[in-house]
Amino acid sequence: MRTLAILDKLKLCVASRNATLTSRASSPPPLTDVTAIVGLPASSKTATEASTASVSAVPTNTRPCNGYVEFCNRRFSNISMVVAHNSPFVRPHNAASNQVYPVLDQLNNGIRGLQFETHKPNESSAIRLCHTSCDLLDLESHPYEVIAIMMGNNNDQKTRIPASDYVIPFQEAGLIRYLWTPPAPTLNLTEWPTLAEMILKNERVVVMLDYGTNQTEVPWLLDEFDYQWETPFSPTDPAFPCTQQRPPNQPEEVSRNRMYMLNHNLNIQVSLLGQSILIPAYSLLDEVNAVSGNGSLGLNVQHCEQMWNRPPNWLLVDYYNFGNFNGSVFEVAAVANNVTYKRGSCCGSETSSKATRGAYNLFVLLLFFVCSCLGM
């Protein structure tokens, strides 16, 4: 499916907080929206009283940004958010799928990072997703949310897709006006804007590409590894090391001053039709996405925080709705952010989740049985 098909509804997702603001995106936002995000003065003292009083407390905002009022005045680089690995790849009972819910549900449940691969079958074709279609995003219902789109560029292929080829899909989707453009070709942790600043400017979508960018030509398409780094990709080790893998050979002092993504999606290797492929470790998902325990996301975040003196910015997971309870991955992020997660706000009922887990586990068992019978 064309990347455009993934993006065409995204303009609704990043549409302004109302029709008026959409028609004048460059105008200052309504005062009520500004005060709701950045807060009102905490004191109502007279001028005489204020001249002799101590400095007032920091104003308190009332409008949540990315789900929490505490986030509005935090920098984009100072928040841990959950990323749906291969977010549009939703195929029931498919061994290579990575999510249960479509992207719209992912956003409603609290996902703030969408990750997927892009492919271009030949020079004359449009960019295509290597996975599948999805009904994308209704951020019109999330006007105070900032999200990231992280794309892979023709990975495992001989050539990369030119950066300029990504422009048309975003233009035709009506997204260009909502994309955030960085002020410099690389940023350290203290140079990112706050969520409130991005929301008030209506620049609420950060787009990154792993390879093949050209920020002189396409300034909003960020070179991922000039802004953040990643732990080992497609991990098969349940210990989930916190070491840096991409980009290779980056000095530690640079890594310590940039955002980073924790790849916490456990894979197993199977042989199918003469090819070796990685599929999610379905039977271990509840433990892998759990708040605590060996191999859990919670423990992995703790280890990485100890190693790097700060938690990961991005927690990339498969099947985010699985875990030791529905939404456990979001509680891990909340703990890292020093906020409180409201249990029961995510991902359907426990009964339906258990049924889905059982169906996926059965499918994988059948897959292994077929592979064994065929001598693969």
Which sequence positions are flagged as catalytic?
Answer: 85, 131
Distance between CA atoms of residues 207 and 190, nearest Å: 19
Residues 244, 260 contacting (CB under 8 angstroms) = yes
Give the three-class secondary structure for 315.
Answer: strand
DSSP 41: -
Hunting for tokens 């049924």 — which residue is that?
355
Q: Residue 232: is the preceding peptide bond cis (ω within 30°)?
A: no
Q: Do residues 131 and 167 make contact, with C-beta atoms less than 8 angstroms apart?
A: no
**Rounded to an integer, what distance in angstroms lies between the CA atom of residue 136 and that of residue 130?**
16
In contact, 84 and 320? CB cutoff 8 Å: yes
How far is the C-alpha of 83 from the C-alpha of 316, rounded, in Å?
A: 4
- Name residues whose C-beta falls within 8 Å of residue 43's C-beta, 6 or more positions apart in sequence: 50, 53, 56, 57
Token couple for 116: 């997927």
Distance CA 6, CA 88 (A): 8
List the structure tokens of 89: 């790849």
Q: Compute the distance between CA of residue 150 and CA of residue 83 in angstroms, rounded to an integer.
A: 9
Q: b/e for 44-55, b at 16 or more Cβ within 10 A?
A: eeeeeeeeeeee
Rounded Cα distance between 9 and 175, Å, is 9
| Inter-helix orientation angle 328-337/297-308, to 10° | 20
Burial of 67 (0-12, 13-18, 19+ CB in 10 A): buried
Distance CA 329, CA 322 (A): 8
